Amino acid sequence: MEDFAWVVEYLPLGHAAASKKEPMVQLMGTRFFTLLEATVKPDAAIVLGQKVCVGKEGRQEVEHIRGRISYEELTTGAKDFLPTMIKKAIHEREKDFIDFVNRAKPISIRVHTLDLMPGIGKKTMETILSEREKSPFTGFDDLKKRVPSLSDPAGVFSLRILGELEGKEKYYMFTKPPFERFEQRFRR
């Protein structure tokens, strides 16, 4: 469950097709990148990119969480702004992502977790594994310095997270599976 989220869209009059016109926001959670939709308190000042509390207590801007939404339910503006916010969230949680690189393990005999990251081929993966054996990575700058072929680690994570949110990935490493796919798995 998310306690905080980034505003990726603000709809002061709600959705155009909605019968009830109330201010709404589309949000991306800071922990699991969960996409949410919520109503906004009447006196709240909302800005794109703002971090808001969505936990059970302490909400100042958000009135009510309407629920989890899919990538397809985001507005065009939210879809355009989402990569920027994903990168911002990654930089805010840099230590978590560096820990991921330092602890990544094989999934099977033929596939390593790092193989699933866009832009990381076998040679780059081998360099990462070799360098982290010498000493763990301390941050994105250290990773870029010791693995020159990986010039934008935050961009690699961003592409992976965006693919997971779009429902294009088989494995979910940073987000929860899209709601529909999660429900289908348990109906069988």
In a domain, 82, yes or no: no
Angle at 152 between CA 147 and CA 154, to 5 degrees: 115
Residue at a domain's end among 40, 73, 106: 73
Domain extent, residue 44, equals 4-73
Contact 129, 121 (CB under 8 A): no
Is the whole-model pTM more than 0.75? yes
Instruction: Name the pLDDT band for 15 (thresholds 50, 70, 90).
Output: confident
In a domain, 81, yes or no: no
CA–CA separation, 89 and 91 (whole Å): 5
In a domain, 99, yes or no: yes
Q: Count other Cβ atoms within 10 Å, centred on residue 105.
A: 7
Residue at a domain's end among 73, 104, 132: 73
Reported as a single tens digit per residue, the pLDDT across 22-81 is 899 999 999 999 999 999 998 899 999 999 999 988 899 999 999 999 999 999 999 999
3-class SS of residue 110: coil
CATH number for the domain harbouring residue 52: 2.40.50.140
